[in-house]
Each structure stands twice: as structure tokens, then as C-alpha cells.
Amino acid sequence: MKFNKNLEENSEMIIQNLDLLDKQLYYGLLGDFKTGYEIGLQLQKERPTCNRCKFNMGWYELQFGNLHKGHELLTCGRFENVFGNRHIGCSQPIWDGKPLKHPNNFILFNCEGGFGDQIIGIRFVKEIVNKYNGRVIVRCSEDLAGLFSNIPEIHAIITDDTLISPNKNPIHFDYWVPSMSAEYILNLDFNTIPNKSYLTISDSYKSFGQEKIKKNTNKNKKDNKLNVGIRLSGNPQFEHEQHRLFPEELLFNVLNKYKDKLNIYSLQKDNTYKLPDYIIDLDKDLNSWENTAGIISNLDLVISSCTSVAHLSASMGIPTWIVVPVLSYYIWAYKLNLDPISNGEFTSYYDSARIFRQEKYNDWTHPFNNIELGLKNILI
């Protein structure tokens, strides 16, 4: 169910008449996790076979630090089209994470979800190859194939659905892995998720990014300013996009205070925002993931909402500050300690990322106060 952008405008009468499942979502979006969890326990008793109920409780299990149990429940969302993808329609089994019977067994790693989800998941290919000696074929979105081709552990990349159809010249593989359940299959926990940088690009794309930055800033060797990229919003089709959108003025106001010490670039694709004149719009240069990665490789910091660009930047090892709503995406559900430089949270998924979490629904001042603190400290 979709609620008004301002949840507090939903009348008490409407809320009380909601189905329990929608009511749980409502309180979660408000950040009332105690009530949301209690409703979840009630739903477990009343609807023990409901996949949506199990999926919702998966987020709470992650919040409690139970990654394996959380993913076991999240997987139930596949049957309701709210998590990952349906079965790919092959006869080969999903790999169970146990030692492979033969050293040359092929595993099809099926990238799921949007671009950001696929960037999150691709890290696990190295784990499969290096720990289990599997030979991995990656199936991903065509737009990401070039970027992923730099991962040496990948045996081959496919993007055409017909290649796995049993009636249309199928490729050979022995097992397959749905990428958004890789943590569960590999039996990882929040302490063992691979979180070091895992995406690299060729020198030609690094040079492309360097050229664009020099061209747009007349940057010379004496320029000691920090190069900062910003991304305000992601896919407008995301179901809860309206709840992760923050007022752009909050970010602009913080950046304005330090604009004399920063070179600031917009990484917003198809930009519809009115940017201040001190922010350089790189929209026209973001015409491929490789070009985008090339530009990011020349930045010192990226500040973004929870977008695919944020995942790209963090996966490359670039310091990345990610602004998330009070009910965050599932990979941010588990809270770690704060970084004393910025009060941003560490995250199990990227050692280069910090999470700036909204504490109260409809109030974004807390994360941006901490972003201001972080900028102040690193610019001293």
C-alpha cells in the first residue's frame, strides 16, 4: 500500500481501519519499530503461511543483527514480487553453498533487482570463486556488463534471457545463485560480508573522468579543493521513493557554507533540479556506467541518497556518504557504531561508506547536521 508523502496527514480513523500488514508498514515508515515488530509477531500467529508477513519480518530480523534469519524471511518476498526475481525457469538447482562436487562446476550468478541491487550483489562472485573454486557465469543488465567485465573472477557475462531458455540454445551451468540471496546461501553474517572495494575500471575511463573534471573546473595542480559528487534522488519508479526524498535545499545549504573549499559536481542523470551556480552539472557525461565510474574515480567524496550511484561509488572504494530514511533499505537495517569524524554510521556492506540516517519521519535535519559536521572536520 502507498501512503501520502506526509504520513502524518493520514487520519487516525484511516490508520485504525488498515489491514494489519499495511498498519505494520505505516508504523515502520514512521520509525515506530516497536509497534511494527509487535504487529509482526501478531501476524506470525494469525497468518503463519503469509509470504508478505514473513518478508516484512525479515527486515526486523536484520535490524536485530540476524542476517541469516532475515534473509530466509526476505526470500519469501520472491513469491509476492516484492524481493528479487522469480525462478529463472531452468532445471538446474539453486546452489546450496556446500562444497562443489567437481572443481570445474559452473555456477550462473543471476543478478537481480535494479542497478543498485546488482552492484551490491556482484561482490559475492569473488567469494564463490576464491572460497569454493566455482566457475561463475554472470547474468546481469546489459548496461552493467561492461562495468562488471573488469572483475577477473568472472568466467563469462550474459545479458540475453534466451541464453538460459531450455529450448533456445542454452548455455551450460550446473547450479545457479539468485544474487539477492547470496548472503544466505554463503552463510555469511554481518561480520563476514565482503566489504572492501570490488569494482575497478580501466585507465581509459579514469582518464575520461579526469578530463571532464579538468574541463569543467579549469582545475590546476595548485587547486587543493576537495572534489565532491552529489546525487539527490534515484529511480522514480521505486515503490517508496517518496519516503527517501529529502529537500534538496538542506544539502545545498550545507555545501554553500564550504563552496570555496570544494569543487562540487552533480551526478544526477536526467537532472530536473535547479542547481546552484557553484555546482557543475555533469548530466551529459553520465551516458554509460563506465563513464560515470570514470568520473567517480576522480572524486574525493560522494554524497547521495540511497541510489545506484552511491553503491557504485562505495563499491569502488570512494568515500561515500549515504542519506537514508528512517525505514531504510534492507542492507542498512542493521546499525553499527558511529564514525567520530561525521557521526555517520559504519556499514557492514562497504568499508568506504557512512550512513546518515533520518531519526524522525519528515525531519531531515539530523543527517544533514552530521554531514555538515563531517565536512567541517575533513576540511579543517
Per residue, what are the HEC states of the chain?
CCCCCCHHHCCHHHHHCCCHHHHHHHHHHHCCHHHHHHHHHHHHHHCCCCHHHHHHHHHHHHHCCCHHHHHHHHHHHHHHCCCCCCCCCCCCCECCCCCCCCCCCEEEEECCCCHHHHHHHCCHHHHHHHHHCCEEEEECCHHHHHHHCCCCCEEEEECCHHHHCCCCCCCCCCEEEEHHHHHHHCCCCCCCCCCCCCCCCCHHHHHHHHHHHHHHHCCCCCCCCEEEEEECCCCCCCCCHHHHCCCHHHHHHHHHHCHHHEEEEECCCCCCCCCCCCEEECHHHCCCHHHHHHHHCCCCEEEEECCHHHHHHHHCCCCEEEEECCCCCHHHCCCCCECCCCCCECCCCCCCEEEEECCECCECHHHHHHHHHHHHHHHC
Same domain, 262 and 146: no
Task: Give the predicted TM-score (pTM) of the model.
Answer: 0.93
**Would 284 be classed as within a structural domain?**
yes
Whether pLDDT at 2 is above 80? no
The CA distance from 63 to 43, in Å, is 18
The CA distance from 210 to 265, in Å, is 13
Q: Which set of grid coordinates corresponds to residue 6?
A: 506526509
Cell 519499530 appears where? 33
**Would 97 be classed as within a structural domain?**
no
The CA distance from 299 to 309, in Å, is 13
Whether pLDDT at 166 is above 80? no
Question: What does the pLDDT read at residue 215?
Answer: 77
Whether pLDDT at 204 is above 90? yes
**Would 86 be classed as within a structural domain?**
no
Mean pLDDT of 173-184: 96
Domain interval for residue 35: 7-80
The CA distance from 278 to 262, in Å, is 9
Mean pLDDT of 140-152: 96
Torsion of CA 114, 117, 123, 124, to 10 degrees: -100
Same domain, 32 and 119: no
Same domain, 252 and 292: yes
**Would 254 be classed as within a structural domain?**
yes
**Would 93 be classed as within a structural domain?**
no
Same domain, 314 and 215: yes
**Would 190 be classed as within a structural domain?**
no
Q: Tens digit of pLDDT for each residue in 322-373?
A: 999 999 999 999 999 999 999 999 999 999 999 999 999 989 999 999 999 9
Question: What does the pLDDT read at residue 163?
Answer: 73
Same domain, 56 and 133: no
Mean pLDDT of 129-156: 95
> Residues of the chain with pLDDT > 90: what percent?
78
Count of domains in the chain?
A: 3
Mean pLDDT of 103-123: 95
Q: How confident is the model at residue 115 (pLDDT cuts 50, 70, 90)?
A: very high
Contacts 24+ apart (CB under 8 A), 161-166: 163/139, 164/88, 164/89, 164/90, 164/108, 164/139, 165/89, 166/89, 166/90, 166/91
CATH of the domain at 125: 3.40.50
Same domain, 254 and 295: yes
- The total of other beta-carbon atoms located within 10 Å of residue 333's CB is 20
Question: What does the pLDDT read at residue 245?
Answer: 84
The radius of gyration of the chain from alpha carbons, rounded to an integer in Å, stands at 22
**Would 312 be classed as within a structural domain?**
yes
Q: Among residues 38, 63, 80, which one ends one of the domains? A: 80
CATH of the domain at 354: 3.40.50.2000
Same domain, 211 and 310: yes
Same domain, 236 and 263: yes
Q: Among residues 156, 185, 214, which one ends one of the domains? A: 185
Same domain, 277 and 230: yes
Per the prediction, the chain carries an average pLDDT of 91
Q: Tens digit of pLDDT for each residue in 307-326?
A: 999 999 999 999 999 999 99
Whether pLDDT at 241 is above 60? no
Q: How confident is the model at residue 12 (pLDDT cuts 50, 70, 90)?
A: low
Q: Is 353 left (phi over 0), alpha (psi -120 to 50) or beta?
A: beta
Q: Which set of grid coordinates corresponds to residue 88?
A: 529463472
Same domain, 166 and 207: no
**Would 20 be classed as within a structural domain?**
yes
Q: Among residues 45, 65, 80, which one ends one of the domains? A: 80
- Which residue from 346, 269, 288, 357 is spatially nearest to 314, judged by alpha carbons? 346
Same domain, 246 and 345: yes
Same domain, 170 and 240: no
Q: Tens digit of pLDDT for each residue in 257-312?
A: 999 999 999 999 988 889 999 999 999 999 999 999 999 999 999 999 999 999 99
Identity of the residue numbered 169: N
